[in-house]
């Protein structure tokens, strides 16, 4: 049975017992901060894309948000922007940054191109052959494969940090797909509906191996208005 989904304001809809069992574990899924992307391309898995100055502030905000938590494990996507976001968190809790390829951004055939509505690759007829199936999707890594690898990373972190907290740094689509899977919802969706802003935390609470709650918070909410609106990853 799936846990109650988080409400739109980030508060859990389900009720948690006031008592915290010894094997209660929290796995936080942290999206990276804003990336310096002056070309406005979908950078996806391309190397060489780093946090902007604002993105670095967002990474510190995330670390501040979990400063009083019992974080014993920090694991990052291999991408530079994710590792940069992980750095303040790891420093705050005095743990190393580990790398898990299962946390990487989803593959996408439009990587390296502009995808903005009206002036991007999507208006070009040569791109339309990739858009025939939004349910899989036909333009990138299948949603079910993203869900499977993300939950491998989550399950591993839960087992290794049992009784404590772990932070996994990843990307918007993989985090959102992981949440949809955890909530037993369909994986295909409108990208505009994703509740996963820059440097946000999607937190999965487990009692033993049973998922009991999902919460969502935005430590950098007041910084989002300053962030670029161009889709990157």
Q: Which of 54, 100, 93 is nearest to 79 (CA)?
A: 100
Domains of the chain listed by start with CATH number: 24-226 (3.40.50.1240)
Q: What is the mean pLDDT of residues 186-204?
A: 93
Instruction: Specify which of 134-138, 139-143, 207-211 reaches the highest per-range mean pLDDT.
Output: 207-211
The C-alpha angle 128, 129, 135, rounded to 5 degrees, equals: 90
Strand arrangement of the beta sheet that strand 71-76 belongs to: 97-99, 71-76, 165-170, 24-31, 201-207, 210-217
Both tokens of residue 102? Answer: 């299962």
Can you tell me the distance from the alpha carbon of 124 to that of 126, in angstroms, rounded to the nearest whole number?
A: 5
Given a contact cutoff of 8 angstroms between Cβ atoms, the answer to whether 168 and 157 are in contact is yes
Give 35-67 pLDDT, tens digit per residue.
999 888 888 899 999 999 999 999 999 999 999
pTM for this one?
Answer: 0.85
In this predicted structure, what is the pLDDT of residue 168?
Answer: 99
């Amino acid at each position: 049975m799936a846990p109650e989904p988080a409400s739109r304001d980030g508060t859990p809809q389900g009720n948690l017992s006031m008592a915290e069992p010894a094997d209660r574990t929290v796995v936080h899924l942290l999206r990276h901060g804003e990336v310096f992307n002056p070309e406005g391309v979908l950078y996806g898995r391309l190397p060489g894309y780093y946090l902007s100055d604002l993105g670095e502030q967002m990474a510190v905000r995330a670390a501040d948000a979990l400063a009083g938590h019992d974080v014993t494990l920090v694991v990052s996507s291999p991408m530079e922007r994710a590792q940069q976001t992980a750095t303040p968190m790891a420093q705050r809790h005095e743990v190393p940054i580990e790398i898990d390829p299962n946390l990487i951004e989803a593959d996408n055939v439009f990587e390296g191109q502009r995808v903005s509505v009206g002036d991007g690759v999507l208006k070009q007829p040569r791109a339309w052959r990739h858009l025939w199936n939004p349910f899989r999707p036909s333009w990138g890594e299948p949603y079910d494969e993203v869900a499977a690898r993300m939950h491998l990373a989550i399950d591993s972190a839960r087992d290794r940090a049992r009784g404590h907290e772990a932070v996994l740094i990843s990307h918007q689509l993989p985090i959102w797909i992981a949440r949809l899977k955890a909530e037993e919802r369909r994986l295909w969706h409108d990208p505009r509906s994703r509740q996963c802003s820059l440097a946000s935390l999607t937190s999965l609470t487990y009692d033993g191996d049973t998922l009991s709650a999902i919460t969502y918070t935005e430590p950098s909410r007041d910084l989002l208005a300053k962030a670029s609106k161009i889709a990157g990853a």
